[in-house]
Amino acid sequence: MWGGRFGASPDAIMEEINVSIDVDQHLYAQDIAASKAHASMLAAQGIITASDAKNIAGGLDTILSEIGKGGFVFKRALEDIHMNVESRLSELIGPAAGRLHTARSRNDQVATDFRLYVRDVIDDLDRDFAAFQRALVDRALEHADTVMPGFTHLQTAQPVTFGHHLMAYVEMTARDRGRLADARKRLNESPLGAAALAGTSFPIDRQATATALGFERPMANSLDAVSDRDFVLETLSTASIAAVHLSRFAEEIVIWTSPLVGLVRLSDKFTTGSSIMPQKRNPDAAELVRAKTGRIIGSLTALLIVMKGLPLAYQKDMQEDKAGAMEAFAALTLAVRAMTGMVLDLEPDEARMRIAAGEGYATATDLADWLVRELKMPFREAHHVTGRIVAKASESDLPLHKVPLSVMQAIEPRITAQALEVLSVQASVASRTSYGGTAPANVREQAKAWLKRLEKEQKSG
């Protein structure tokens, strides 16, 4: 394609480092869509004939079908998806194929194709995360009353409900989806027509191609249009945060399924065995979700490093923008689908959860709150009094609700038998009725509201 300027063929190693078809062949649908929009605009503007535009569109449809059916041969000598498509188009329709490249460059082509690709990825990921939320909400409703230990510092802190814990990830995922929507909005501008870097002298209609491809508007600066990769960085950043959320949940599943903890079980569908230890049931799916987060964050870091030193406009370094991003998006897709499957599969050991929720004097704060509420004691004093009672309970190896009232009254004479009523784990979670609290009634209300929201999204989507 550029042989007119060069008298010799490139070295074999030059061809190897320069070729990108192994990666950018995944952009074939986007490349063909952008080419069809460009050809249609060229005809509408009188830059090429309607007959040529019709032949180009027909040839591109044939190529799309060939690739879709696996009958297209990608040639590494042609470097990239753009030249592979154009070469095949020339075979199909002859010299008219060469007119397709009028008023555009591979620089604005690849920027357009990749924006379309990332936009499609965002839409697919949003659907996957919505399904993840739906699984969480369904299980939260099922376990709105199931008591479990809540942790800080991985130490038993206060009782919560399993439904409340699952709903925390619904909220995290809502923010992830919001960031995806924000990234989509910002990327939805068309580089097509910016050409190599300076625009073109042909009377093109960039708004027409932007509209045809579903973009809101053309990008306003041709230099920025061909050299910007913010849209990939922002989507990778969003993907990294989402992956961290999935990894945190995966880590909890790994901990919870350990026989030492035993709060939940996964079936054979999401566990594996050992090649030497027949008793093992390993939470490998959760572990792999946890590990894939590194790939996703690594892809973000790699592209940041590629872009940090590049002057305007396009540089060949940007060819490295796709492989890592595509791998990251595929890893996140697999991770969220695996987590959705595990959410639907896992079964809590409700009896074990209830026992664990009461261990470690988890309802001590409820006693302190009772002292403040009923005896009008300053919280700091109530905290001190409760701490002394917990110390006595620990000396006697008794749970807090089994400490004799006389022992409590020896520390604080005004305590009555009513205080004992707030010390069960069920009473504790039921009392947490503040907005966003763990009370079962709250969990059901929040879960039902989310269910309606997700169903509305599904109908409107």
Residues annotated catalytic, as ranges: 153, 274
Rounded CA-CA distance 2/354 in Å is 72
What is the C-alpha to C-alpha distance for residues 57 and 49, in angstroms, rounded to an integer? 12
Q: Give SS3 for 264.
A: strand
E runs forming strands in 167-280 = 189-190, 217-218, 264-265
Q: Which amino acid is at 177?
A: R
Contact 16, 66 (CB under 8 A): no
- DSSP letter for each residue of 280-331: --B-HHHHHHHHHHHHHHHHHHHHHHHHTTPPSS--GGGGGGSHHHHHHHHH
What number of other Cβ atoms are within 10 A of residue 185's Cβ? 11
Kindly list the distances between the CA atom of residue 443 and the CA atoms of 145, 158, 234, 270, 346, in Å, as whole numbers in the listed order.
9, 16, 33, 27, 19
Mapping DSSP onto H, E and C, the string for 74-118 reads: CCHHHCCHHHHHHHHHHHHHHHHHHHHHCCCCHHHHHHHHHHHHH
